Amino acid sequence: MSRRPGNVSPLRTLRILCLSGPNLQLLGTREPAVYGRETLADIHERLHGRAEELRVTIEARQTNHEGMLLDWIGESISVGRFDGLLINPGAYTHTSVAIYDAIKAVGLPCVEVHLSNPDAREAFRRHSYVAPACVGRIAGFGGTSYLLALEGIVAHVRNAPRSG
């Protein structure tokens, strides 16, 4: 019996969409003591390398606009036919019911990613609106959080019991 989700063919290469939100284009120079010196381009390059090793496809995008994140999540099951999501919503983590709703609406498994550990920072970062829509969360490992999240989502999608 297949253990894949109902709509993922065992023959098709898994497709993962990785989204980063506001101010993450500034990685490299943004508060390096908190976020490290790696740029988002560096992280995306590492992600593509790991995706190749895992034999999956990854598409990585960044935007400062909440609506753009909503559009990308909303079309992820049609236009890109993705199988899973990684999202670092940046500050929208702590404010956005709309991102929670979008992830719930498409029904794709999603991992929440953070470079820093929001729970060890200011009190306002301790609440995530996005977390309840996600299968898991990786935080606190700098750019490596993205790679760990990729490992997690790929294992999750590959092992998820068939729905229905």
Q: Which residue has the tokens 């034999």?
A: 55
129 is catalytic: no
Q: Which is nearer to ligand DQA, 26 or 105 (CB)?
A: 26
Q: Which is nearer to ligand DQA, 115 or 150 (CB)?
A: 115
The interaxial angle of helices 66-74 and 97-106, nearest 10 deg, is: 10
Residues that bind ligand DQA in the complex, under the rule CB under 6 A: 23, 88, 90-91, 93, 114-116, 118, 125
CA distance 84 to 108: 5
DSSP string across 139-159? ESSTTHHHHHHHHHHHHHHHH
User: Catalytic residue among 44, 92, 100, 114, which?
Assistant: 114
User: Catalytic residue among 35, 92, 100, 146, which?
Assistant: 35
To the nearest whole angstrom, how small is the minimum distance from the Cβ of residue 114 to ligand DQA?
Answer: 4
To the nearest whole angstrom, how small is the minimum distance from the Cβ of residue 76 to ligand DQA?
Answer: 20
Q: Which is nearer to ligand DQA, 3 or 124 (CB)?
A: 124
Q: Which is nearer to ligand DQA, 14 or 134 (CB)?
A: 134
To the nearest whole angstrom, how small is the minimum distance from the Cβ of residue 125 to ligand DQA?
Answer: 4
Q: How far are the Cα atoms of 13, 30, 37 from residue 118, in angstroms, in the given order?
A: 33, 16, 18
Residue numbers annotated as active site:
35, 114
